[in-house]
Structure 1
Amino acid sequence: MTLLSIEGVSRKFGDVIALDEVSLDIRAGEFFALLGPSGCGKTTLLRILAGFEWPDRGAVRLDGADLLRQPPHRRPVNLMFQSYALFPHMTVAKNVAYGLEREGLPREEIKKRVGEVLAKVGLDTMAGRRPSQLSGGQQQRVALARAIVKRPRMLLLDEPLSALDKKVRAEMQLELKRLQVEVGITFVVVTHDQEEAMSLADRIAVMDNGRIEQVDAPIALYDRPRTRFVADFIGANNLFTGTITGNGFEVPGLGYLPCKPELPNGLAVLAVRPERVRLGDPGRGAADGIVADVSFFGGISHIAVDVSGHDRKVLAATQGAARITPGAAVGLFWNPDDAVLVPA
C-alpha cells in the first residue's frame, strides 16, 4: 500500500536544477533510502517532504491528501536532524517530551509516552541525564526517541549516523532497523553511504543530478543495475565500454567478452563485480593481464590486474589471503550470467 506519492517534483536554485521531475512511491511501513553523491538532490527532496522547501512544480500526497498544502508543524511527518539538535540544558526525558508539551497534552499522557519510547530505545535508566553526559550513540537514540514519540506517519532521517564512528555506526544500523520494525513507522533516510543504505533499506532510490536513476531492493540494485551510474556507484565494479553486435559484445582492444547480450545492438557498458572475476592461466580467459597490486582487507583480498588495451585496472576479489603476487601473469574468467549489460 502506497503511503507517500511524489509526482513530477522539480526544484531550481537559480541556474542549478536540484530536482528534475522526480516521481516516487513509498509504501506504508517500509524503510526507504534516498542514496546518492553530494549535490544529487536527495536532501532537497527530504526538506520538501518536511515542509522546509517548496517545489517549483509537482505534487506530494500522503495517504492521498495534498501534503504541500499543510504547514510543517501540521504535517504527520517528523524530521530527525543530522546534528541531533538536542537541548543541552534539558534532561533526556525533557528533550523527548518537548514536542508533546508544545502540543499541550496532559502531563500523565506525556509521562507515559516518554517512558514507553525511552524503554524502546534502551534509555529508560538515563532519563535524568543531560546530553553532555551521553555518548554519541546514546544522543542519537535520544534524537530518535524525540522524533517517534509524536507518532508520525513517516519519519525523515538526514544522514542519521554520519557523526558516529564506524563501530558504533554498525551497531546503530541494526538498532535503527529493529526500531523501525518495532514501531511500524515508515522511515525515509537520506545518505551518501552505500553500506548504510544497503544494510538498512527495504528499497533504495539512487539519485544523480536531481534525477532518479533506479529504484529497487538492495540485492536487485547490486546484481542488476539498469544504468551506468548505478553500476559504477553501487559497490565496486569492472566496467567495459563496447558495442553489442550480432556476434556478442565487442570491446576495442579486448575482443568479445562473455555476457548475454540482452540489449539491442549498439553502444553499451558491461559490468562485472570483482567477486565474480576468477583468476587462472593466461591465454584461456576473457582477457589476460599482469597483477599490479594485492590488498588484504581481513577476510577478503582485492587483486588489481593491468589489462593491455583497457584504461582501468580490473579488480578481482577472493576470500581470505590471496595466493598470488604482483607481477604474475593471469587470465580473467567470469560466467556470462554474472555480467550485466547497461546502456552506454
Structure 2
Amino acid sequence: MASTPFHTNSAAERHWEWQYLDLMRRIWTEGDERVDRTGIGTRSIFGTQLRFDLTGGRVPLITTKRVYWKTAAREMLWFLSGETNIRPLVLQGVKIWNEWPHARYVRETGDSMPLDRFVERIAQDEAFAAEWGDLGPVYGKQWVDWPTYEATGDGLYRKGKGINQVAQVIDSLIRNPGSRRHIIEGWNVAELDSMALPPCHKTYQFHVADGRLSCALYQRSCDVALGLPFNLWGGAMLTHMIAQQTGLQPGELIWMGGDTHLYLNHAHLVEEQLSRTPQGEPTLSLLRIPDSIFAYRIEDFAVDGYAPQAPIVAPVAV
C-alpha cells in the first residue's frame, strides 16, 4: 500500500475539508480490515464525527473531487416527496439507486438483463417500473408517511394515517424551538426487511440556538469514498431548506458515523484523493421561498464558488 500524506493543522491548511481527508486517511491506514455484507471487504473504524459551519450559505461540498451536487439535490427532493420507486430519478438522469432494483430483478427472474437495458425499460415502461423499480419503504416513505395502525375492536388492526415527520419537525421548530424532540427518523424496525437497503443516514436531529438552526446527522453505516460526500451535501441542503422554512439562519452540520469504512476496491480513489489539496469555499443560495418544504424544485438551488478537481470513478458495492 502506498503511503498517504498526513495533513497538519497549520494556518494555511484550515480548510474544512481536511477533516474529511484525515478521516479517509485514518480509515485506510488504521482501520480494521473485515468481510462485509457485499463480499468486497472494507477497512473500518467505529464512532466518528465531523463538524461544518453552514453560516453565510456555506456547504461541505467536497472539492478534492467533483461531487455532482444536482444529482444529490434531486435525490433529497425525491426523499421529501415520499416516493420509493426509482422511475422519477431515472427520468431525471439520476443513477444512484439503479443497482439495487436491478439486482433484485436478476435474482428473482433469472434474466441477466444488463443494467443499462433495465434502466431504459424502467424509463419507458410504467408497468415494468411499478413491478421492478420500487425499493420498498425506504427513506422518504418513513420521513413523510411513517405507518401507524389502529385497533378495530375485534383484536385486529387496520392501517392508520401516516405520520409526516418532516412537517411535524418544521411545526415544532416554529412553535417550540427549544424542544429536544426535533427528530426525523428513518429506522423503522418493523419494515427493515421490506427495504432494498435499510437507511444508512438514519437520524436527523435539529437544534436552535441564537436564531440558528443546526443539524446532527447520525449515519449507522458510511461508505466514506462514494457515499459520505453526498450525505454531507444532503444534510447541509436539508438544514438550509428547513432554516428558510422556519425563519432561522443555518448554524452547523454535525455528522456522526457508526461503522465508517472504505471498500478495499477503492484503493485507487483513496490514494488519488489523498494526494490532492482542498480549494475554494462553495456556498448555496436558495433562490425562492416556497410555501412548503415539499414544494422546492431543482431550479431553486444555486451553488457558487465550486471549482472541484476531476472526478474519481469507483464501483458501487451493492
Looking at CA atoms only, which structure, 1 or 2, has the larger radius of gyration? Answer: 1
Structure-1-length-normalised TM-score: 0.27
Task: Point out which structure has higher relative CO (alpha carbons under 8 A, 6+ apart).
Answer: 2
Higher helix share: 2
Q: Structure 2 length as normaliser, TM-score?
A: 0.29
